[in-house]
Amino acid sequence: MGTAIAFYLAPRLTAELRMQITDSAQRFRRTAADHLEQVSTRIGDAIDQVASAAHAVQGDAGRDGVKRTRTPDAAL
């Protein structure tokens, strides 16, 4: 009797398990995609900040070079 009940319930349990695994995998994929998007945005922002800082330093160095060449000491 127990074996008959097990055979009767097995397909249902297998289908439910399959559905749970599929749902979990889909949630995991969505979560991973969300995290990837957040990380990509943060990296892009960091790259923009570094590029801005580099341009600022480059501009300051250019202005300092112009100031040096215009002073009388620069000719020595």
- Average pLDDT along the chain, 76 residues, taken 10 residues at a time: 73 86 97 98 97 88 59 54
pLDDT of residue 2: 74
pLDDT of residue 32: 98
How far apart are the C-alpha atoms of 36 and 28, rounded to whole Å? 12
Structural domain including 51 reads 37-68
Q: Is residue 76 part of a domain?
A: no
How far apart are the C-alpha atoms of 19 and 25, rounded to whole Å? 10
Q: Is residue 30 part of a domain?
A: no
Residue 7: CA count within 13 A, CB half-sphere: 4
Q: Is residue 24 part of a domain?
A: no
pTM: 0.56
pLDDT of residue 65: 57
pLDDT of residue 4: 75
Q: Is residue 8 part of a domain?
A: no
User: Could you say which DSSP state residue 73 is in?
Assistant: G
pLDDT of residue 71: 56
Q: How many separate domains does the chain show?
A: 1
How far apart are the C-alpha atoms of 9 and 7, rounded to whole Å? 6
The distance from CA 53 to its chain's CA centroid, rounded to whole angstroms, is 22
Q: Is residue 53 part of a domain?
A: yes
Q: Is residue 48 part of a domain?
A: yes
